[in-house]
Structure 1
Amino acid sequence: MRDMMRSLRWRGRRDLVVEQVPVPSPDDDEALIHVLWTGICGSDLEEYLEGPVVIRGPVTLGHEIVGRVVRAARDGSGPAEGQIVVVDVVTGCGACFWCLSHEEGLCPSLVVKGQHEDGGLAERLVARADRLIPVPEGLGAREAALAEPTAVAVRAARKFGPIDRRGGLVVGGGTIGLLVAQVLRHEGAERVVIVEPDADRAAVATGLGFDVVWADSPSDRAARVAALFPDRGVDLVAECSGAPGAAAEAIALARAGGIVVLLSVTPGTTPIGTTEVVLREKTIHGSAAHMWDTDVAPAVALIASGAIDVKPLITAVVPLTDGAGAFELLADRTVSNIKILVRIGEE
């Protein structure tokens, strides 16, 4: 009889239940991971509230995962037993144009743990061993749980090209926005400003050393941003809020010839000003996925070195047994949360 474990299973909208399920059996190239911490993000919340959007349910949610190897891969690949690791969650088919171009996140047959197959809100997880990122000594597993969203920020920053001595603006001071801002600063941005209305999030951003602007009117926000970049305007703009109209506003806030990276998805149709893009020759990139080597590994290194400070972003910790409560907490707009972590293991 197979060993059993606890798993937080999504079965429908606002229907999450801790169930006993069999411990998964790893293939030869997979390691068995004892999950320690798993973060909840906006896409998880979207599935909880509105899904299925991307997921193929019923499924165990969670794609921001750190754990300890309890059974190394039989083929000898990947870390040894006992190593704390960040789990890469993006897998392509390995044979299409995008996979062969090292862009597996764009693969038509993409599989993401926590969406298309069981993820990290469980006591055990199997994962491809050669894509596990070791957590260096001195970096706590709790902080390492933010490596996946940091990898999103690392990838997005790369879309900007040269950052040194340029000005950056981040629209949205949630998890991704605060991480993008820190990556831009680490890469040499001359100044980074965050647009954020929530007072608690703004306080975290200020505590991290960033200027924060807000005004209820878009024109007033634009004026405040312009006053902080009086020379030529904002070179680099990252839209991380997902708020209605935010994409168009981000494009408008970029200077002529500026670069905009969109990281969030707004439900429904999102109009943008093509005049701003065409006549002022602005460049727009989308950014979502990440690769284990070019994005996740550098993210772990940035957190471990202290270049990225993730501790102020962790605003709540809950046990796996109250996983559904964590989703309700994140959904409660009267409470300001940035990153909620689910504690699964003992470390």
Structure 2
Amino acid sequence: MKAIVCEEPNRFEMKEFEVPKAGEGEALIRIRRVGICGTDLHAYKGNQPYFVYPRILGHELAAEIVEIGKNAQGLKAGDRVTIMPYIECGTCIACRSGKTNCCTTMSVLGVHQDGGMREYMTVPADHLLSAEGLSFDQTAIVECFSIGAHAVRRAAITPGEFALVIGAGPIGLGVMKFAKLAGATVIALDINEERLNYCKEWAPADYIVNAKNDPVKEIEANTGGDFPTVVLDATGNAKSMEGALQYVSHGGRLVYVGLVKSDIAFSDPDFHKREMSIISSRNATRVDFEQVIESIRRGQVDTESFITHRAPFNEMIGAYESWLKPETGVIKAVVEV
């Protein structure tokens, strides 16, 4: 089988491997789509934490089951599935409390171990979810949206709250969508006017704010002087993450969805005077995946316009560099395997 390996920063190579054999409790799957995530882009450029080379990237996956044994979900060969790419230990304190998404020895496909940028792979059978009723394209973006759904659940958003989402990339868009579904009044903050207009149409965001102007004043006006009770930063940018405190209401919550490969710092008086909560959101759980799958089935998420670029597997290496450029208008790229 063919696989695309990121040998080192800025270099992919197509290689041949044997088709793997499924072990006890595993399934052999045929990959059909791979969504390109910010994690993949950062890894390619050498900016991804917890990463070593060489590595087969890819954790936003749509697949068909080739072989599977008896399993609790009743999945069988030929079924269309998405994959929870977070492989947990099942025994640590986080796993014992149901927080498998932040396992102490977490191993993520495409990051800590080889992912799905290949024709076949084996995965734990209990990390597969049925994608019946979804297209391969839709199935490939379930994981991306699950990150946003989990962040909204971490934020404990209630109907009527103002939620500011910083960053209008794929993760930020997912956060906006599921904040809207939770009943929030959503404000989108970014520096790209074209992307902000897409947020207003797609999420749909109730307000859009360009960070190049006077965002504090505009956000204050949008919220009647109160500022948002929840702010979710999905930028993965240290400067943005440090500045996010200024938008949080007194008594509010700040949720860091993005991950940055550096330290972040902020004013302790600004933090304390608000008695605010700072929360991290990592990965997602089965509950989040199930919520996303059901939302797509119900037509609550526009998946068609979300995927803007695609390439066949054999042409991915040549197309990849263009997906790094904002001027190409990429929201979500997928690889057809």
Q: Which TM-score band (shorter chain)? A: over 0.9
Q: Point out where structure 2 has 5 or more consecutive residues left out of the alignment.
A: none
Q: Residue 285 of structure 1 corresponds to which residue in structure 2?
A: 279
Question: How do 1:182-331 residues align onto structure 2 when only pairs under 5 Å count?
Answer: 182-189=177-184, 191-208=185-202, 209-210=204-205, 211-217=207-213, 220-230=214-224, 232-291=226-285, 293-331=286-324
Partner-residue secondary structure (3-state), 2:180 = helix
Q: State the 1:108 CA deviation.
A: 2.7
Q: Distance in 1 between matches of 2:37 and 2:97?
A: 28
Partner-residue secondary structure (3-state), 1:276 = helix
User: Quick check: 2:228–2:248 contact (8 Å CA) kept in 1?
Assistant: yes
Gap change, CA 1:51 and 1:226, over 3 Å in 2: closer
Deviations 1:179-235 (A, max 9, x none): 10010110111x101012213312321222322111425xx1111111111152211
| Paired residue total | 334
Deviations 1:67-123 (A, max 9, x none): 1111123x4454111110001111111221112112223223211111122211111
Q: Distance in 2 between matches of 1:171 and 1:153?
A: 12
Gap change, CA 1:238 and 1:162, over 3 Å in 2: closer
User: Quick check: 1:12–1:52 contact (8 Å CA) kept in 2?
Assistant: no
Partner-residue secondary structure (3-state), 1:9 = strand
User: Quick check: 2:39–2:48 contact (8 Å CA) kept in 1?
Assistant: no
Q: Distance in 2 between matches of 1:162 and 1:205?
A: 19
> CA-atom RMSD, angstroms?
1.7
Q: Percent identical across equivalent pairs?
A: 25
Question: How do 1:20-35 residues align onto structure 2 when only pairs under 5 Å count?
Answer: 20-35=16-31
Question: How do 1:7-26 residues align onto structure 2 when only pairs under 5 Å count?
Answer: 7-26=3-22
Q: Residue 115 of structure 1 corresponds to which residue in structure 2?
A: 111
Quick one: higher RCO (CA 8 Å, sep 6+), 1 or 2? 1
Partner-residue secondary structure (3-state), 1:257 = coil
TM-score by length of structure 2 reads: 0.94
Once superposed, which parts of structure 1, at least 4 consecutive aligned residues long, lie more than 4 Å away?
Answer: none
Gap change, CA 1:14 and 1:181, over 3 Å in 2: same
Q: Distance in 2 between matches of 1:263 and 1:326?
A: 28
Q: State the 1:338 CA deviation.
A: 1.4
Q: Point out where structure 1 has 5 or more consecutive residues left out of the alignment.
A: none
TM-score by length of structure 1 reads: 0.91
- One-letter code of the match for 1:114? G
Q: Distance in 2 between matches of 1:143 and 1:188?
A: 24
Range moving further from structure 2, 29-38 or 93-102: 93-102
User: Quick check: 1:135–1:300 contact (8 Å CA) kept in 2?
Assistant: yes
User: Quick check: 1:261–1:285 contact (8 Å CA) kept in 2?
Assistant: yes
Q: Distance in 2 between matches of 1:28 and 1:262?
A: 37
1:339 equivalent among 309, 332, 335: 332
